[in-house]
């Protein structure tokens, strides 16, 4: 059994990424993996840790990061949705904090001063959309609001999102000329 969710896998991915950075090579890493059999807390912390370690160490591409469970032997639609959020959070972390004249907002700081309300400032409103990560699965509401919406956990919310995506998705057909080329190039391919 290959232990995909082990912290040591994250350490190896980070080490490989750092070596690749040193030698100026691109690095194809693993991360966002779990040994959990279902989309649960174990899946969350294993996936989050192994993904963020590879990402922050400078991996250029991280594979198998979405949907996989049980040492990459199981796939779950709700896990794709959860992993999309984990990957989004990691990408936001990689953006870091942009520091320049515009983002420092020294004029706003001088105007508002200590103890003032920065939330009422146009500058704050303008920049908060790019600075904040807005999750689709994570619930950041107060308990009362969460309860009024059914008190669902992340897995339940992700399952609903996945069902809505699948119900509303209308795949575009492959153009017939491309379909014929594919079939002609791959020996033994059966068209359904």
Type and span of the H or E element at 62? strand 61-63
Same domain, yes or no: 20 and 63: yes
> What is the number of domains present in the chain?
3
C-alpha–C-alpha distance, residues 186 and 10, integer Å: 37
Same domain, yes or no: 67 and 110: no
SS3 100: coil
Same domain, yes or no: 130 and 182: no
| Residue 160 burial class via C-beta count within 10 angstroms: exposed 0-12, middle 13-18, buried 19 and up | middle
Q: Looking at residue 71, what DSSP letter applies?
A: T
Same domain, yes or no: 112 and 77: no
Domain that holds residue 178: 139-192
Same domain, yes or no: 116 and 166: no
Same domain, yes or no: 1 and 84: yes
Same domain, yes or no: 22 and 110: no
Same domain, yes or no: 72 and 114: no
Same domain, yes or no: 50 and 90: yes
Same domain, yes or no: 9 and 92: yes
Any idea how long the chain is? Answer: 192
Q: What is the pLDDT of residue 130?
A: 83
Question: Going by C-beta distance under 8 Å and a sequence separation of 6 or more, which residues neighbour residue 77?
Answer: 67, 159, 162, 163, 166
Q: What is the pLDDT of residue 164?
A: 97
Same domain, yes or no: 4 and 87: yes
Q: pTM (2 decimals)?
A: 0.84
| pLDDT mean for each 10 residues of the chain (192 residues) | 89 96 95 95 97 95 92 95 97 94 94 93 89 94 97 97 96 92 84 68
Same domain, yes or no: 77 and 17: yes
Question: ∠170-172-174 over CA atoms, to 5°?
Answer: 150
As beta bridge partners, residue 62 has: 29
């Amino acid at each position: 059994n290959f232990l995909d969710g082990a912290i040591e896998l994250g350490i190896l991915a980070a080490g490989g990424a750092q070596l690749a950075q040193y030698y100026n090579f691109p690095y194809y890493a693993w991360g966002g993996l779990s040994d959990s059999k279902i989309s649960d807390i174990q899946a969350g912390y294993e996936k989050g840790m192994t993904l963020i370690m590879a990402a922050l160490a400078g991996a250029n591409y991280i594979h198998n990061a979405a949907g996989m469970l049980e040492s990459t032997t199981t796939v779950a639609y709700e896990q794709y949705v959860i992993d999309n959020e984990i990957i989004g959070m990691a990408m936001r972390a990689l953006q870091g904090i942009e520091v320049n004249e515009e983002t420092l907002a020294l004029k706003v700081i001088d105007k508002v001063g200590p103890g003032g309300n920065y939330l009422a400032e146009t500058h704050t409103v303008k920049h908060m959309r790019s600075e904040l990560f807005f999750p689709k699965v994570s619930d950041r509401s107060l308990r009362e609001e969460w309860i009024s919406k059914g008190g669902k956990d992340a897995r339940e919310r992700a399952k609903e999102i996945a069902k809505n995506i699948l119900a509303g998705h209308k795949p575009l057909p492959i153009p017939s000329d491309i379909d014929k080329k594919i079939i002609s190039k791959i020996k033994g391919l059966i068209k359904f």
